[in-house]
Structure 1
Amino acid sequence: MILSRYERMIAKRYLLPGRGEAFIFLVAGISLVAVMLGVAALIIVMSVMNGFRAELFDKIVGLNGHAVIQGIGPDLPDWRNIARIAKQTPGVTSAIPLIEQPLVVTYGGRAEGVLVRGMRVSDIRSNSTIGGKIVMGSLATINPGSGRVAIGSRLAEALGAQVGSQIALLNPLGQATPFGTVPRIINYTVGAIFEVGVYDYDVKYIIMPIEDAQTLTLAGDSVGMIEVNTTDADRVDAILKPVADQIAGRAVITNWQQMNAQLFQALAVERVAMFTVLSIIILVAVFNILSSLIMLVRAKTRDIAILRTMGATRSGMMKIFMVVGTTIGALGVVAGLVLGFVFLFFRQNIVDFVQLVTGQNLWDPSVRFLTQLPSKTDPVEVTVIVLMAMIFSFLATLYPAFKAASTDPVQVLRYE
């Protein structure tokens, strides 16, 4: 939209408060603030939702893989051959044998339900989700037959255990005797404490060498499942289809989407709902721009009439008021972008401060899975938010601009 010199001058004049026009300027300022808050709220909420999904995906997949191969029965027969078939399949990056068994751990008179995971030592140390999150101790001390295990930080807090503590794992499926089944109890030393950042994992998981897990669970040489990672998590079904065809009748494949279907579907629905609801804030701000421009047109009716008699065109009048309204919207968008990114940068500090002031736990990891407020800004979403705010602001200027352009200077000046 190209403005002539006099049109730019008048538009600039109308953007600044004149004598007796403080109320109109106040309404325009409120419109700008409303656009700013709407844009900032959308950016903050959508970035947090994206960060929440990305963090959950990275950590859940980091521990459980893109898919798992499980036997139809309690064990996975011929697991070495199945692991070899999976590893040789194009697109598969790893096939890791695992044992997972829910057991009970005791320490200092406290007992907690846990999930014991047995892995090969090389797989434990190469797993970035575990290896990169050690808060105490070292994974180098965990070896087959060493009697050392790694436990989650929340579990350590619940038990009151630390590195070097002796914990006892109880397997109710022990050996049968004439007097009944005797539970199997084996003592282990805490060799490392990890904090993945997902509450359910940090409060439940105990990691040990797969040989020790087989001894604890009386599994012999068998394993419970094979964890598979691929080059593309979204194409995991297509990549593993050859494997599924070869192991049909012996084992089944469950991908990450099936394992966490309810969680990720709920996040997707909540993401759409939050975007829709928060967009209403921008819509309300646009109505404020509309009302402020209508008031401005009413206040400047005599000026418009004089300009028309001096040769100003209808299109020129429309452009002036369209530029005024769009400028208010653009300034609000810019301020909203700044506010949104500043909030995201200091998000955890803000949450901690509010918690300190209110005395309330706003981010309970037992409810929200993650231990910290995540964030991941999507440039495409930010672009959509900016365009939406600008288009709404532009549309809000059309009616006031049309009313200004349709002003009849003869009728106005006759009664002035």
Structure 2
Amino acid sequence: MRPYELWIGLRYTRAKRRNHFISFISGVSMAGIALGVMALIVVLSVMNGFQDELRSRILGVASHMEISGPDGRLADWPALAEQVRKHPDVRGYAPYVAGQGLLVMGDSTKGAMIRGILPEQEAQVTDIGAHMRIGTLAELKAHEFNIVLGADLANALGVTVGDKVTVIVPQGVVTPAGLLPRMKQFRVVGLFSVGMFEYDAGLALMHIDDAARLYRLGDAVSGLRLKLADMDRAPWVTRELAHTLVGDYYLSDWTMSHANFFRAVAIEKRMMFIILLLIVAVAAFNIVSTLVMAVTDKQPDIAILRTLGASPASIMKVFMVQGSLIGVIGTLAGVVLGVLLALNVETVVPLLERALHMDLFPADVYYISELPSKVIWSDVGTIAGVSLTLAFLATLYPSWRAARVQPAEALRYE
């Protein structure tokens, strides 16, 4: 059998009240909790998706780890690769030459990161080859001075495949007229689009031999990039290789090169959780006011229960059940709506953009061109648990007041 406190509390919740204002406040409390829980789930899911999408796209163009020489030059990279490949976590490696340059086409000028690659090995460490819009990385051949541009960079310069662009690098050439920058014409043989504005608008690829010649590195390269079996183990692999490699090298991993960015995203996620939790807290305070008015409205009923032998603790349980049920219904509704919206946010956002005739998430501001979402069930459980806890705590004071009602005082004017 159910405890009579539970039965009476459920009866009070679903019974038609004489005071319709109390019913209205109860509905507002449920709606407020549902809205807060839904907003928390959707926002945290979007933040999780945003973080994962950025990480996968950044590491699809960058690398899990990089090893370079102390002066920015790595002379004998094949020997280093032989040492590195023995580590069980290393799945691939590729040399690279990196530098800054200025790309010129007619009156258009754009700064870009220049990266020299070995096309046959690039697929071991990045996914750029899978995001080629026109052409392939295989068309980057040594001494032919071909170049592959990000789609947005090519659009800004007004060039397409077959056009020639002039690449100007900071390393100068001493002439009787003074120090002049080095420049060389390259033919555009391909365009890529990884869906991340930072790289699509600021990265140019060329063969590693052409880049080494352009930056006067001779037979050396800038460094070696590695791909690991598990990117989350990058800090441990970095420490292990630092102790096992023979030679003077500088090692870095993605958690170091992008640490501030991902830390900022994590901090923003925590702050959004705290701010949106205030919605749930306000709704919980509404539960307090609802129950206080319900206690006042039900004072004759409380007095009768007390005269029939109900203890103060039993009266407390009755109103705690009533208030907790408001929290449970609101939380369950918020969880269902929040999960449904989070799972379909990639469909909902384009509909809103078309309805409002505006781009809510421009790629040049938010780095990615679409809004991702990833529902983490532990986050959903945490949100639901916090919401239920706040709702339960909100019932304590009104229930305590109900337990203090004196039967004689409550029935005096009835």
TM-score (norm 1): 0.89
**What amino acid is aligned across from residue 218 of structure 2 in structure 1?**
G
Q: Deviations over 1:250-300 (max 9, x none)?
A: 321122222122212222322222222222221111111111011111111
**1:65 aligned to 23, 39, 63, which one?**
63
Q: Deviations over 1:6-35 (max 9, x none)?
A: 555533332236253211011011111111
Q: For 2:205 and 2:171, locate their aligned partners in 1 and report how far apart those are by CA, in whole Å.
A: 20
Structure 1: 5+ residue stretches without partners: none
**2:74, 2:223 within 8 Å by CA — same for their partners in 1?**
yes
Q: For 2:372 and 2:177, locate their aligned partners in 1 and report how far apart those are by CA, in whole Å.
A: 54
Q: For 1:157 and 1:338, locate their aligned partners in 2 and report how far apart those are by CA, in whole Å.
A: 44
Q: For 1:77 and 1:244, locate their aligned partners in 2 and report how far apart those are by CA, in whole Å.
A: 18
The residue that corresponds to 1:225 in the other structure is 223
Q: For 2:180 and 2:309, locate their aligned partners in 1 and report how far apart those are by CA, in whole Å.
A: 102
**What amino acid is aligned across from residue 99 of structure 1 in structure 2?**
V
Bigger drift between 109-118 and 39-48 goes to 39-48
Aligned ranges 1:254-269 → 2 under 5 Å: 254-269=252-267
The residue that corresponds to 2:100 in the other structure is 102
The residue that corresponds to 1:32 in the other structure is 30
| Deviation at residue 389 of structure 1 after TM alignment | 0.7
The residue that corresponds to 1:365 in the other structure is 363
**1:175, 1:182 within 8 Å by CA — same for their partners in 2?**
yes
| Deviation at residue 386 of structure 1 after TM alignment | 0.7
Q: Deviations over 1:360-403 (max 9, x none)?
A: 54323333222222322222121111111111111211222233
Q: Deviations over 1:231-254 (max 9, x none)?
A: 343443432335324557732112
Q: Deviations over 1:82-122 (max 9, x none)?
A: 22212222322223211111111123431111111111112
Q: For 1:195 and 1:382, locate their aligned partners in 2 and report how far apart those are by CA, in whole Å.
A: 34
Q: For 2:362 and 2:382, locate their aligned partners in 1 and report how far apart those are by CA, in whole Å.
A: 32
**What amino acid is aligned across from residue 79 of structure 2 in structure 1?**
N
**What amino acid is aligned across from residue 60 of structure 2 in structure 1?**
G
SS of the counterpart of 1:236? helix
**What amino acid is aligned across from residue 274 of structure 2 in structure 1?**
T
Bigger drift between 7-16 and 282-291 goes to 7-16
**1:16, 1:25 within 8 Å by CA — same for their partners in 2?**
no
1:278 aligns with 2:276: yes
The residue that corresponds to 1:391 in the other structure is 389
Bigger drift between 98-107 and 176-185 goes to 176-185
The residue that corresponds to 2:2 in the other structure is 3
Bigger drift between 263-272 and 231-240 goes to 231-240
Structure 2: 5+ residue stretches without partners: none
SS of the counterpart of 2:341? helix
**What amino acid is aligned across from residue 392 of structure 2 in structure 1?**
F
SS of the counterpart of 2:374? coil
Bigger drift between 329-338 and 60-69 goes to 60-69
In the superposition, relative to structure 1, how do residues 13 and 122 fare at CA in structure 2: closer, same or farther (>3 Å)?
same
Q: For 2:188 and 2:225, locate their aligned partners in 1 and report how far apart those are by CA, in whole Å.
A: 25
**What amino acid is aligned across from residue 3 of structure 1 in structure 2?**
R
1:331 aligns with 2:329: yes
In the superposition, relative to structure 1, how do residues 78 and 140 fare at CA in structure 2: closer, same or farther (>3 Å)?
closer
**1:85, 1:243 within 8 Å by CA — same for their partners in 2?**
no
**1:138, 1:192 within 8 Å by CA — same for their partners in 2?**
yes
Bigger drift between 193-202 and 129-138 goes to 129-138
SS of the counterpart of 1:254? strand
How many residues are paired up? 414
Q: Deviations over 1:46-100 (max 9, x none)?
A: 2222222222222222322222112121411322222221222232222321111
CA RMSD of aligned residues (A): 2.7
SS of the counterpart of 2:194? coil
The residue that corresponds to 2:158 in the other structure is 160
Aligned ranges 1:372-411 → 2 under 5 Å: 372-411=370-409
1:170 aligns with 2:159: no
**What amino acid is aligned across from residue 249 of structure 2 in structure 1?**
A
* Overall identity of the aligned pairs, in %: 35
**2:287 aligned to 283, 286, 289, which one?**
289
Q: For 1:189 and 1:259, locate their aligned partners in 2 and report how far apart those are by CA, in whole Å.
A: 31
**1:17, 1:25 within 8 Å by CA — same for their partners in 2?**
no
| Deviation at residue 357 of structure 1 after TM alignment | 5.3
Bigger drift between 225-234 and 344-353 goes to 344-353
Q: For 2:99 and 2:325, locate their aligned partners in 1 and report how far apart those are by CA, in whole Å.
A: 62
**1:173, 1:181 within 8 Å by CA — same for their partners in 2?**
no
Bigger drift between 219-228 and 365-374 goes to 365-374
**1:329, 1:393 within 8 Å by CA — same for their partners in 2?**
yes
**1:214 aligned to 212, 215, 224, which one?**
212
SS of the counterpart of 1:250? coil
**1:318 aligned to 312, 316, 323, which one?**
316
| Deviation at residue 229 of structure 1 after TM alignment | 2.7
In the superposition, relative to structure 1, how do residues 189 and 390 fare at CA in structure 2: closer, same or farther (>3 Å)?
same
**What amino acid is aligned across from residue 35 of structure 1 in structure 2?**
I
The residue that corresponds to 1:241 in the other structure is 239
SS of the counterpart of 2:220? coil
SS of the counterpart of 2:195? coil
TM-score (norm 2): 0.89
Aligned ranges 1:6-21 → 2 under 5 Å: 7=5, 9-16=7-14, 18-21=16-19
SS of the counterpart of 1:103? strand
